[in-house]
Amino acid sequence: MNEGELLRDHISQFITLLNYLNNIEVQIDDEDQIMLLSCSLPPSYKSFRETGLWQRQNLVRGCKGSFFE
């Protein structure tokens, strides 16, 4: 995605590519799809990307902690 492009258009193109891959039986799990989309965003989305990664890491840590208690 380039700066100035609409996020909606970028997501639409991303979904189109995922559908194409699915049609040729290439499976990408949900978590990897989220990471691919996040990494495809321009630098202006850096704080959004970092916040999402931070929240994910804390969720995983919290789940592991409660699982082993």
The CA distance from 21 to 25, in Å, is 6
- Is the model's pTM score more than 0.85? no
Tell whether the model's pLDDT for residue 55 goes beyond 70: no
Euclidean distance between the first and final Cα of the chain, in Å?
43
The CA distance from 60 to 45, in Å, is 23
The pLDDT score that the predictor gives to residue 68 is 39
Give the chain's largest Cα–Cα span: 47
To the nearest 5 percent, what fractions of the chain are helix, strand and coil? 75, 0, 25
What's the alpha-carbon Rg for the chain, to the nearest Å?
15
